[in-house]
Amino acid sequence: MPHSRWSSTQATSSPKAEGGSKLPLVTIFTGPQCSLCEELKHELKPIQKEHPFQLTTYDIHDRALPDQPKWHRLYRFDIPVLHIAGKEVLRHRLTEKNRPRLVEALREAAAALGGGGGGGGIKQAAEAGRDA
């Protein structure tokens, strides 16, 4: 079954969030027939509604992609790997323990772009994660 080398989805119809600021870029390093990758994409949807971001996937097995040998060497045993604004945030699964780190990274990336990072609840989510 063919799959796209790069794919992208957005929470809004435009790559700009309210106020004209760009959305943070979230990249999932993935591979063919990766059920954990599909699970992670599904788990990101509710977070994307509260903290808008642009989602891109990168197939580490696709030799036509730029820097493929580097990403394949780094992540061949660890997909999915999620990056926000070019920085690794998590590997394998989204859990209650690493969710606050993901939300905080989204907030920081949105702030760096001049956006607000989504609605409230960020501080509470981070605090809830520390208590766990």
- Locate the domains of the chain by residue range: 6-131
- Residue 114: pLDDT band by 50, 70, 90 thresholds? confident
Fold of 6-131: Glutaredoxin (3.40.30)
Q: How far apart are CA 81 and CA 28, in angstroms?
A: 6
Computed from CA positions of residues 126, 25, 6, 60, in that sequence, does the dihedral angle turn out positive or negative?
Answer: negative
Can you read off the two tokens belonging to residue 126? Answer: 């981070």
Task: Give the confidence band of 108 by pLDDT, cuts at 50, 70, 90.
Answer: very high
**Residue 31 scores a pLDDT above 90:** yes
Give the global pTM.
0.73
